[in-house]
Structure 1
Amino acid sequence: MEDSQGTGAGLLLAGRYRLVESIGRGGMGRVWRAHDEVLHRVVAVKELTAGRFVAEADRLVLHARTQKEARAAARITHPGVVTVHDVLEHDARPWIVMQFVDGPSLADAVKEAGTIAPREAARVGLHVVGALRAAHAAGVLHR
């Protein structure tokens, strides 16, 4: 479960968040299921890997933007938005510690079912609109 940069299961971040397993990957990084050894709970930890492959000046901008976005996300209170618990620095890059939500993604649900009924699609859409309204009310513009 380790990558070529040495990040892998078992790594302890900030003396408290132990990475358990990689649960997702995207253009900006990877998300880990982790264990908060202080509060004894499961959390999600986003490892930002994009900064590894850019010039130093661009990396500093990316890290500053990550800090700003994490602070902004932490201001949002809505059941459709995960709670940001912590932002830390490890291996010269930021990591974001968030609420862990156990369950399939919408993409996984669609793949499994093949389709979503119109009523369910509308319910999901209204929930997303509610989350976006909460974000906008907190001064966060979702891109």
Structure 2
Amino acid sequence: MSDSTLVGRLLAGRYRLLATLGRGGMGVVWQARDELLGRTVAVKQILLPPELPDTEREILRRRTLREARSAGRLSHPNVVTVFDVVEEDGRPWIVMEMVDSTTLADAIREYGPLPPGEVARIGLQVLAALQAAHRAGVLHRDVKPSNVLLTGEGRVVLTDFGIATLEGDPSLTTSGALLGSPAFIAPERVQAQGVGTESDLWSLGATMYTAVEGRPPYDRGAALPTLAAAVTEPPDPPRLAGPLWPVLDGLLRK
């Protein structure tokens, strides 16, 4: 079913889809209207790959429900608020606050490397979001520039707990796949040494490095060389980080 055929659809008798806002590997984000409360919301449509066997599709559905449950436990100005989760046609749809913003990834593409002071300001707010999540026992596992929202008022919001997990719970995947974006996956995850709060902080360091340098700390043009470099090599020498480098170096320490 194409995006255009879904425009105007009413989910759960309440959320009317208006327009697509973005698309990623795991889903499509829609602008929608909550007809009950008369407010604009964002709705994440989860895409279940048709080639997956039924057992894997069920695992993905359950993981998504875990995502909503995890994020719904959090109440913090730097974490996107999850309002609701509904199921239609056998797939979950996650209803979130609508944040009028651009992503950090888009800002880097448009403006190039950002000043160290601005990156520090952004990083502190993402850190506050992660600290709130970690206190609740929630790991993000996919911190990267495209999941950091920047508002015109200076608020920074961490979004898309798309592969988030409750700390201490086993992964729901049976395939053993490494979830996340290669340039921002912590070395211990590459080496299957487990996932902890340190992994999120490493990914924050990689995100801040990318913002201030205009490129990731390890970028080898393909997933496997990039992952290998993160495990075996120091970060690429910084050119623009200036006084921010000791902080980044500490976050990226193996």
Higher strand share: 1
Larger radius of gyration: 2
Which residue number in structure 2 is paired with residue 126 of structure 1?
A: 124
Which residue number in structure 2 is paired with residue 50 of structure 1?
A: 48
Inter-partner Cα distance in structure 2 for 1:17 and 1:10: 9
Corresponding residue SS for 2:31: strand
Alignment of 1:78-93 (within 5 A): 78-93=76-91
Runs of 5+ unmatched residues, structure 2: 142-254
Amino acid at match of 2:132: A
1:103: Cα distance to partner?
A: 1.6
Inter-partner Cα distance in structure 1 for 2:65 and 2:109: 34
Which residue number in structure 2 is paired with residue 3 of structure 1?
A: 2
Which residue number in structure 1 is paired with residue 147 of structure 2?
A: none
Inter-partner Cα distance in structure 2 for 1:89 and 1:52: 17
Moved more, 22-31 or 101-110: 101-110
Deviations 1:89-130 (A, max 9, x none): 011111100001012111122222222110000111111111
Inter-partner Cα distance in structure 1 for 2:138 and 2:45: 22
Change (3 A) 1:93 1:130: same
TM-score normalised over the length of structure 1: 0.92
Count of matched residue pairs:
141
CA RMSD in angstroms comes to: 1.5
Percent pairwise identity: 55
Which residue number in structure 1 is paired with residue 111 of structure 2?
A: 113
Q: Is the 8 A contact 2:30 2:42 kept in 1?
A: yes
Deviations 1:56-84 (A, max 9, x none): 11111111111112111111111111110
Inter-partner Cα distance in structure 2 for 1:106 and 1:64: 29
